[in-house]
Structure 1
Amino acid sequence: MDEVSFTAYSGEILGIAGITGSGQRELLEAIAGLQRIEPGSSIRFIPPAGQEVDLVGKSPLDIYKLGVGLAFVPEDRFGMGLVGSMDLADNVMLRSYKNGKSAFTDRKSPRALAQKIVDDLEVVTPSLNIPLRRLSGGNVQKVLVGREIAGKPSLLMTAYAVRGLDINTSYTIYHLLNEQKEHGASVMFVGEDLDVLLELCDRILVLCAGKVSGIVEGRKAKKEEVGLLMTHLGEEAKA
């Protein structure tokens, strides 16, 4: 990433577009405390009610302890988000372990939350006790997104949240993101389908080779405009 500067506002969905390898994943991981950030950089989080917090140099646990309501749906569902050999309740409990909390030790609370996710998001599973890897990709993603939004985040970041999913599951995810927006959260959505980005997002930040090549209004921009920015031709096209 090189001199990336932007603002994500509460109550909006900020799309992030770019060809593969332009820095989309690294950007979200840096904000989440999972990527090293160069000295002199700044990631400022301003909660709805509270003082500004700089997240640079903070680990995910540090970010949680600061009271920053940050939720992250990573690109790698099982590598970073969930554990395939564990059941639904254990995967719900996993987020509390990452945050350094000792709650849920009796398993009643995580099981109740897991059941709520299954009911609310229509997760197809024979029980809460089977390993998560035995579910379809769409149902796995519902569990991951449901777990992350259960904490009512102020900032929700998703990386390729609908990759490989069927159309019905994809629309379920889009609906959940819009709900978070309506609740006042700032939603950052990394996606591949320009039609979806233009329809879903209020604004779209376009990356090219680790740099911001433009920010456009989601419902006013044209696909060709975004495509040009993705290849750094946007400035030339305006010349």
Structure 2
Amino acid sequence: MREYSVEMRGIVKKFGSVTASDQVDFSANAGEIHALLGENGAGKSTVMSMLSGVYRADEGEILIHGAAARIRSPKDAALLGVGMVFQNFRLVQSLTAAENIVLGEKSSFWRGSKWIKNKHMEIEALAERFGLKFPVDRPIWQLSVGEQQRVEIVKTLYRGADIIILDEPTSVLTPGEAEQLFETLQVMKREGKTVIMTTHKMKEVLASSDRISVMRKGKMIATLATADTNELELARLMVGREVTITRQEREETAGETLLVVKNLDVFADHGRKALNSLSLNVSKGEIVGVAGVAGNGQKELAEVLTGLRSWKNGEIHFDGALVKTASVRGAIDAGISHVPENRMKSGLAGRLGSVDNLLFKSYRSGQHSRMGFLKAAKNRAWSQELVERFNVKTPELDTPVQQMSGGNQQKLLFAREISHAPKLMVAVHPTQGLDVGATAGVHELLMELRSTGSGVLLISEDLDELLQLSDRILVMYGGKIIGEATHEHADRQTIGLLMAGIDNREESAV
């Protein structure tokens, strides 16, 4: 009988009255790429967290290379050769990318800045090899979410784990970079490493994995050979019902121009220019997608439009009026809603319940307060109505939102932003880390906004999402718009090349 590199038997994990993992069996072979799928809240992250030492199982056993393992901490897991790239990053914000990667390295102690600098070339070479470049000498807090995820991937590879768990590893990569990563995974496979990949991208799973395990509601539903299944079957197993995965058809609804950005210059936190004479426009009833690799100015563009960041030069006109200064309150009052790229960092307050989070932008209004006092009963009823309308699953309205699944957190965030009937929605990576069911729900909400005449600026690194939803796709590179395509004429290969800064359109015309 073949010995598994990882074997988990009868794994049970409970959080209070909630059973997150119910008698789960899971195994992966050395020299195998094994995909683990499931809706948010299905229990897959909990199972992988027990394998990586973040949680301890209440029942069951874990075997590593055939031997019983006591994994009580991430350190125990690391000593056994298990490394995990988490969806919620484990990075020290004040340290540089390079310092985070070498932090805790075996047999190392703090040796000063000279030792750190000597590591830069090694880390840069590793990042280059895997197509995951990022500024190694920049503090984490100055990096975008996508760049931070790349640091996490390189950190795991740098530490030489032979059992590597990757959570959504391609969510911030261009198609070309994703293909490069899959080639790397194949190299790991040939060298006998075990790769466990959790992702919601069916096409990538089918293209890169050997076997696929599907979880639903804390139970392991099925384990299939990748060659024997397809995208629709996997979606059905994940959500327990048939799911349609098609490009959104649409009627022409675009109206008069809503947003005009002219020659905008914006500087990032690190002092370099993030937006360089950028111009774009969004009409009412239109979804404009913005494609680009993380770090090309998308973050700063979203922050400028939502009042979080000022600009150096250029003009912004919204709904016929000139925007003179950056103001969050001004943006809210003007009718601009914002779904940020990191929902738990800048969108929701994790320790507060649904009512408080839903009231963040409207608590001052006469509908929700009187003479400085909140209308508690009325606000609770209003929150309950929104939770039901947007199908947010939470045990109680007072349950901290950090205890919700990622999909339910995102639906709650959308409930708050849409409840204000926005004229413009700025949505940044709105489905990052969400399962197929939750993703479909978010897409329906965006299309509903479009149909009611609202404009949507959809910033995403998921080309499939942009191709499915956008009326027009703009490509950002180096802080500029370097390409544009309509819904009917968008070409995946051309957009992918533009995202990487390669424009072959002129060459093709010659």
- 1:72 corresponds, among 327, 330, 338, to 338
CA drift of 1:195 comes to 1.5
CA distance in 2 between counterparts of 1:238 and 1:113 reads 55
Q: 1:225 offset after TM fit, Å?
A: 1.1
Aligned residues of 1:88 and 1:131 also touching (Cα < 8 A): yes
SS in 1 for 2:498: helix
The answer (yes or no) to whether the contact 1:41–1:56 under 8 Å persists in 2 is: no
1:232 aligns with 2:501: yes
Structure 1 residue 56: Cα displacement: 3.9
Q: Does the 8 A contact of 1:9 with 1:186 survive in 2?
A: yes
- Which of 282, 295, 301 aligns to 1:8? It is 282
Hey, what does 2:191 align to over in structure 1? none
More helix by share: 1
8 A contact 2:401–2:409 mirrored in 1: yes
Deviation at 1:59, TM superposition (A): 0.7
The Cα shift of 1:101 comes to 4.2
Matched, 1:24 2:298: yes
CA distance in structure 1 between the partners assigned to 2:379 and 2:482 by the alignment: 43
Q: How does 1:130-141 map to 2 (within 5 A)?
A: 130-141=399-410
The aligned runs of 1:1-239 (5 Å cut-off) are 1-38=275-312, 40-46=313-319, 52-64=320-332, 67-97=333-363, 101=365, 103-104=368-369, 105-234=374-503, 236-239=504-507
Asked if 2 retains the 8 angstrom alpha-carbon contact of 1:205 and 1:215, the reply is yes
TM-aligned CA deviation for residue 166 of structure 1: 0.7
Could you tell me whether the CA contact under 8 Å between 1:37 and 1:56 is conserved in 2? no
Per-residue displacement from partner, 1:168-192 (whole Å, max 9, x unpaired)? 0000000000000000000011112
State the shift of 1:135 in Å. Answer: 0.6
Q: Kindly provide the amino acid, as one letter, of the partner of residue 62 in structure 1.
A: G
Counterpart of 1:11 in structure 2: which amino acid?
A: G
| Greater shift in the superposed pair: 108-117 or 149-158 | 108-117
| CA displacement at 1:107 relative to structure 2 | 2.2
Contact 1:18 1:207 in 2 (8 A): yes
Contact 1:72/1:158 (8 A) holds in 2? yes
User: 1:4 corresponds to which letter in structure 2?
Assistant: L
Deviation at 1:125, TM superposition (A): 1.0
Q: Which amino acid aligns with 1:139?
A: N
Q: Residue by residue, what CA displacement relative to the aligned partner does 1:92-142 show, whole Å, maximum 9, x if unpaired?
A: 111225xx5473411234322321222122111111111111111110000
Q: Secondary structure at the match of 2:295?
A: coil
* CA deviation after TM superposition for structure 1 residue 85, in Å: 0.7
Q: Contact 1:33/1:55 (CA < 8 Å) preserved in 2?
A: no
Task: Return 169-178 or 126-135, whichever deviates more.
Answer: 126-135
Considering fraction of residues, name the structure with more strand.
2
Shift of 1:230: 1.2
Aligned equivalents of 2:417, 2:286: Cα separation in 1: 18
Cα RMSD over matched residues?
Answer: 1.5
8 A Cα contact 2:304 2:326, kept in partner: no
Retained in 2: the 8 A contact 1:87–1:131?
A: yes
Letter paired with 1:36: S
Distance 2:467 2:395 in 1: 37
Post-superposition offset of 1:61 = 1.3
1:233 to 1:94, Cα distance in 2 relative to 1, 3 A = same
* TM-score relative to the length of structure 1: 0.90
Structure 1: how far apart are the matches of 2:445 and 2:342?
Answer: 19
Tell me how far 1:150 sits from its aligned partner: 0.5
Aligned residues of 1:156 and 1:188 also touching (Cα < 8 A): yes
Q: How far apart are residue 60 of structure 1 and its match?
A: 1.1
Contact kept in structure 2, 1:197 and 1:204, CA below 8 Å: yes
1:168 alignment partner AA: G
Is this contact kept in 2: 1:45–1:54, CA < 8 A? yes
- Greater CA deviation, 113-122 or 164-173? 113-122
SS at match of 1:163: coil
* Equivalent AA in structure 2 for residue 8 of structure 1: V
TM-score of the two chains, using structure 2 as the length reference:
0.43
Matched to 2:430, the amino acid is A
Structure 1 Cα separation of the partners of residues 316 and 404 of structure 2:
36
Q: Is the 8 A contact 2:473 2:490 kept in 1?
A: no
Secondary structure of 2:282 counterpart: coil
In terms of Rg, which structure is larger? 2
CA distance in 1, matches of 2:418, 2:325: 25
Name which structure has the greater RCO, CA cutoff 8 Å, separation 6+.
1
Task: Determine if contact 1:69/1:154 at 8 Å carries over to the other structure.
Answer: yes
